[in-house]
Amino acid sequence: MSFLPFALPDIGEEEIAEVVDALRSGWITSGPKVLQFERDFAACMGGGVEAVALNSATAGLHLALDAMGIGPGDEVITTTHTFTATAQVICHVGARPVIVDIDPETLCIDVAAVEAAITPSTRAIIPMHFGGRAAEMPSLLDVARKHGLQVLEDAAHALPTTSAGQLVGTLGSDATVFSFYANKTMTTGEGGMLVTRNPAIAERARIMRLHGLSRDAFDRYNSEKANWQYEIVAPGHKCNLTDVAAAIGIHQLRKVDAFRNQRARIAAWYDKALADLPLTLAPHALPGDRHAWHLYVIRLQSGARTTRDDVLNGLFRAGIGCSVHYIPLHQHRYWRETHGLTAQMFPHSQQAYERSISLPIYPRMTESDVGRVAAALRALV
């Protein structure tokens, strides 16, 4: 039987044709395709946001913190149950990451733990929308307003997710960052998008994404007159998106709702097929809200007659790709040794980690594929 991958991008002829057009145009770095992608993305968000395309969501989080004025002496609160990028960008701007536990039901950052961790040095909160389910944003934004804190949403999993009826990216936070990595709900191969209603944040991010130049190459060379002058206004970085990548994104964005609807169907198939097994199924969105279903994460219940690792190995032996989201920060040597994190500090994240398995979920999956995964799980648990 063929191997069922954990994730697979859905690239069509439209994306291929747009990439070919970019290659033939001569603009293969940041140029007209990037501008179109940014405008399309901002229009898709609505809510008066600006969109800044970058080569990764990590770059977006980094530039957002810089643009928000976060730096040495500041503290930023985030969760241990995430990929390291969410927290490492805090270190990159010279601030101190303050790491807290998750809500065991949603697997998103725990609001009470956030409020308990606030000190006079706290400047910002980075909630992460786990798996495509929104964190408890109304409560988090209330906490932020109460304490005068900025909010940067890590929405790498969360396109198109809603919270309290609003699209993530249009909430009351200072900035939101999406990922277009190969396994995300839409892809550009590598890439990310920073969205914000604050024009100063958007402008600073645009400058810092390309060495701190006052004007990018498209501005300087897309003219009938000599227009080569520029000025370095800050010690920036090199994290602009290319036109080749943006060409993919233009058409992926048009399909993102269809992709999400198919992911929701797959999640419903899993819910039905796994309902009678000793598993805690993936957390759903609150009533009236939308889950992006980037991940479908199950957790072994305490009564299961096997271990998480035995189930993972059994699924791979059955030709089924799967993963674990996440190996939390406190399990990694850097975060343990440099920041003094231990498993005892994060009991909910630790228990989720020990019991979690991320099952395949991507738009090309069929109900038969889900049945195959369910049958393998049934034999193992």
For 13-254, CATH gives: 3.40.640.10
State the fold for domain 257-380. Answer: Aspartate Aminotransferase, domain 1 (3.90.1150)
Q: pLDDT for 68-89, tens place per residue?
A: 999 999 999 999 999 999 999 9
Q: Does 223 score more than 60 pLDDT?
A: no
Number of H helices, E strands in the chain: 13, 12
Tokens standing for residue 117 = 């961790």
CB distance 33 to 174 below 8 Å: no
What is this structure's pTM? 0.96
Among 284, 362, 299, 297, which residue's Cα sits nearest to residue 323?
297
222 pLDDT tier (thresholds 50, 70, 90): low
Active site residue 225: no
The proportion of the chain whose per-residue pLDDT surpasses 90, expressed as a percent, equals: 93
- Residue 49's pLDDT is what? 98
Report the run of H or E that residue 125 belongs to, with start and end. strand 122-125
334 pLDDT tier (thresholds 50, 70, 90): very high
CB neighbour class for 33 (10 Å; exposed up to 12, middle 13-18, buried from 19): buried
- Residue 83's pLDDT is what? 98
CB neighbour class for 259 (10 Å; exposed up to 12, middle 13-18, buried from 19): buried
Domain locations along the chain:
13-254, 257-380
Other CB atoms closer than 10 Å to residue 16's CB: what's the count? Answer: 13
Residue 330, CB-side half-sphere exposure with 13 Å CA sphere: 24
4 pLDDT tier (thresholds 50, 70, 90): very high
- Residue 101's pLDDT is what? 98
- Which one is catalytic: 33, 184, 225, 272? 184
Q: pLDDT for 240-280, tens place per residue?
A: 999 999 999 999 999 999 999 999 999 999 999 999 999 99
